[in-house]
């Protein structure tokens, strides 16, 4: 295989549900209340001229905070090493996990017996658009100096499963129901 066929990149956008929906609602509420409270306070202090800055300050607040509720997860496999990144508002990216496929002890669909095995592990990383997605895979690996077990949940594609089988076929469980 050449280096282009050993490369995989996939990105999923987190769906607006659960805690993310609550955070978005609270931010929109803050965007409404902030200018109202600020303008009222400035009027009470008879600083009417400074009221024109309320719109500017609200725009700055929106610009710097809304990206934290526009989250995407990106998975990249290069030379057998899988890295997971969290992307905020399509502007800033933070890599939060890097693990070699060869070092994984299980790579299977997040269903049935595999689900219970993954749920038994305390340290979990999430990189899914929704926990209800049918394409979720669980990867168990050892992490840190103490070699503690950890699990990462992510959405797999058939191309990724084929590539993972190339690097470590003993631990990969295929799922014929993958959508992509």
Residue with tokens 């902030």: 34
Confidence of residue 51 (pLDDT cuts 50, 70, 90): confident
Would you say 36 and 106 are in contact if contact means Cβ atoms under 8 Å apart? no
pTM of the model: 0.84
Rounded CA gap, 154 and 167, in Å? 18
Over pLDDT 90: what percentage of the chain? Answer: 63
CB < 8 Å & 24+ apart, contacts of 100-103 = 101/77, 101/164, 101/167, 101/168, 102/167, 102/168, 103/141, 103/142
User: What pLDDT, in 10s, does the model give residues 59-97?
Assistant: 999 999 999 999 999 999 998 899 999 999 998 999 999
């Amino acid at each position: 295989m050449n280096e282009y066929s050993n490369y995989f990149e996939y990105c999923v956008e987190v769906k607006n549900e659960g805690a993310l929906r609550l955070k978005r609602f609270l931010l929109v509420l803050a965007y409404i209340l902030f200018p109202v409270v600020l303008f009222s306070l400035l009027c009470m202090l008879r600083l009417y001229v400074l009221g024109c800055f309320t719109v500017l300050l609200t725009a700055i607040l929106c610009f710097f905070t809304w990206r934290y509720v526009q989250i995407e997860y990106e998975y990249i496999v290069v030379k057998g090493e899988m890295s997971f990144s969290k992307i905020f508002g399509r502007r800033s990216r933070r890599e939060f996990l890097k693990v070699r496929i060869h070092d994984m002890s299980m790579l299977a669909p997040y269903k049935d017996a595999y689900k219970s095995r993954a749920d038994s592990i305390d340290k979990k990383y999430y990189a899914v658009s929704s926990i209800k997605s049918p394409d979720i895979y669980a990867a168990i690996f050892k992490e840190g100096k103490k070699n503690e077990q950890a699990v990462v949940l992510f959405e797999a594609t058939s191309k990724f499963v084929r590539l993972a089988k190339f690097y470590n076929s003993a631990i990969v469980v295929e799922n014929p129901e993958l959508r992509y």
